[in-house]
Amino acid sequence: MPEYVDFVPRHRFQPTLALSPDATAVAYSSNVSGSYELWVVPVHGGEPRKVAGLPGGAVRQMAWTPDGKELVFSADRGGDEQYRLYRVPAEGGEPTEISSGGDCQRILPAAPFDATGRLLAYAANDRDRHVQDLVVLDLQEGTERRFIPAPGVAFEPVGFSPDGRWLLSAGFRSHTDIDCYLIDLSDPRPEPVCVRAGRGGGVSDPCAWAPDSTGFYLLTDAWGEFTAVAFYSLTEGTLTPVARPEWDVELLDAGADTLMWSVNQAGRSVLHAHRNGTPVALPTLPSGVITACDVACDGSIAAVLIDAATRPAEIAVLDLEGCRFRYLTDTRPPALQTIEPTEPEMVTYPAGDGRHIHALLYRPSGEGPHPVLLSIHGGPEAQERPTYVRAGLYQYLLARGIAVFAPNIAGSTGYGTAHQRLIYRDWGGIDLHDLDHAVRYLHTLGWVDPDRIAVAGASYGGFAALSCLARLPYQWAAGVSICGPANLLTLAQASPPTWKTFVATVLGDPDTEAERLLARSPVTHADNITAPLYVIQGAQDPRVPQAEADQLVHRLRARGVNVRYDTYPDEGHGFTNRDNEIKAYGEIADFLVSQLR
């Protein structure tokens, strides 16, 4: 039987990539050498080459200069999410920092340059820790222009119009409240203007400019529960639908006369493309999830990052003229050469209030009875999808005869805005109700051993796992929490400054709702936790500080509960160091097998 390490992909990617202006190379961030560094791979085949890296750092976002001679990228250190900006020759070399000032969260868009390559747009909270400004940096003169958002809005730039007149940005309040903002750079004293490209208070998320600068493409829920593709005309001030599927459109990019988007269809990505408004025939793609997409400037090809339950994330290229699909990378681990990986089954179960919850069910071979891991995704505004989850952990557990059940409970994306908003200001409420019914559903499956059910999750999923252990009346076999909040009140109080509006909207206001937040916190009900527990925490985590784990572990150990607690001093919210990730998930795998087998 292969060990866990045999299921680990050869390397992993950050969810971003960038095609060179001449469409001959793809830039990406990979941890093949141990930490996330900047790499480039030729589109027509050949060995990848490393362009840049930073000691103890992780490359997060990248973009090419318009002439293709350089790359800019953002990077943080130790997972602290304090991003700095750098530039480096495309052939490689020592990175040069182009950001100034102290540590802050700098956000680099996919298309940060104007057509000349002189102006660079990004967002930063360096002026005020609580406000995410829009900054235009003149790389030639070293000067900047700064644009300040309205209260409660965080700017996330999209890019300059091709004619250089306009700068487009998203104005973010929450995942379901996004507006478009335009800045007329021809005005000597421009101000950001909110463009109501949809219904107020909904999603109007700008994505890409039209090549003639007459308008831009965006994702919007203006016409219903799901996000559609639309075009906003600057001259007419009108919003025109381009595609309105009965599922969420989640990725959108454009190049020349070609528009491409991905539809989240029951968790799987379905890609579509138009050229001059006419559908383009696309090659058949593997069944999985597209996490990044970049269309070439001339519209001839597109690069995608695609992840599947049976094959780890890979970079691939789509030839839009020849209708061909090719992988550019191969990260498959040794175990996939000897074991047939398991595809999940899409199932639904009743939530008890008339709703039905979608879930992924991974069943091991054999009649059973099988133990089960109830796996809860993070977010909570995220989705469990058919990907190669947690560096191969699911497939390893399946090979050991352990099933995995991964539901998309209230708050999950992909099933309409109403389902997503159910979690707002109700953490530990309706979500826990849905998890209770998940366990009840598992008890109805004849091949499941009801006495061997464990629960695990990371981030919000860690909070939900702890809530299950503390508040649901089951004899859990084990639990795992990775960077999981234990106290919603202290979590809200310690959240990053630019998240204040988001936290008040989605979680709750710690100044006015302290009693409710405490009542829903796992630490409040810690005396009910009796199952063996494994807690993992990054010491540099800016989202869920280490104090969240410390207070829970202290309470449980004082009662003699079996708790294993591992901290990683050089990690933040998740893993950026490959060795740390392999060690952590290997330990989790051993822990779950020992408790469930």
Amino acid at 47: E
68-82: pLDDT as tens digits:
999 999 999 888 889
pLDDT of residue 56 exceeding 90, the answer is no
- At 499 the pLDDT is 83
**Quick check: is 33 in a domain?**
no
**How far is the C-alpha of 536 from the C-alpha of 236, rounded, in Å?**
53
Mean predicted confidence (pLDDT) in 548-571: 94
The answer to whether residue 587 sits within a structural domain is yes
Over range 313-324, report the average pLDDT. Answer: 94
pLDDT at 496: 84
> CATH no. for residue 420?
3.40.50.1820
- The amino acid present at 523, given as its one-letter code, is V
Which string of DSSP letters, residue by residue, matches 483-505? Answer: S--S-HHHHHHHS-GGGHHHHHH
**Model pTM score:** 0.91
Q: pLDDT at position 195, please? A: 87
- Per residue in 128-176, pLDDT (tens digit) is 999 999 999 999 999 999 999 999 999 999 999 999 999 999 999 888 8
Q: How confident is the model at residue 198 (pLDDT cuts 50, 70, 90)?
A: low
475 found inside a domain: yes
End-to-end CA separation in angstroms for the chain: 14
Domain membership of residue 101 (yes or no) is no
* Residue 91 in tokens: 């052939």
Q: Determine the pLDDT at residue 200.
A: 64
Q: Has residue 290 been placed in a domain?
A: no
Average the pLDDT over 171-190 and give the result. Answer: 91
pLDDT at 80: 86
Q: What is the pLDDT of residue 268?
A: 95
**69 in helix, strand or coil?**
coil
pLDDT tens sequence across 83-98:
999 999 999 999 999 9
What's the confidence (pLDDT) of residue 474? 96
Backbone angles phi, psi at 310, to 5 degrees: -105, 0
DSSP code of 526? G
* Rounded Cα–Cα distance for residues 309 and 15 (Å): 16
Q: Note the pLDDT of residue 495.
A: 86
- Tens digit of each residue's pLDDT (9 = 90 or more) over 360-393: 999 999 998 999 999 999 999 999 999 999 889 9
> pLDDT > 90: what percent of the chain?
87
The number of domains in the chain is 1
- The answer to whether residues 496 and 132 touch, using CB atoms and an 8 Å cutoff, is no
Q: Is 362 within 8 Å of 375 (Cβ atoms)?
A: no
- The answer to the question of residue 487 being in a domain is yes
Q: What is the pLDDT of residue 108?
A: 96
Mean pLDDT, residues 441-458 taken together: 97
Average pLDDT over residues 301-310: 96
pLDDT confidence of residue 488: 94
Q: Which two tokens stand for residue 559?
A: 């009662």
Q: Are the C-beta atoms of residues 491 and 483 closer than 8 Å to each other?
A: no
Q: Is the pLDDT of residue 197 over 70?
A: no
Structure tokens at 113: 């340059």
Q: What are phi and psi of 74, to 5 degrees?
A: -110, 150
Print the domain residue range for 370: 342-596
Residue 118 is assigned to a structural domain of this protein: no
Whether the pLDDT of residue 1 is over 80: the answer is: no
Structure confidence at residue 497 as a pLDDT band (50, 70, 90):
confident
Is 412 part of any domain?
Answer: yes
Mean pLDDT (the chain) is: 94
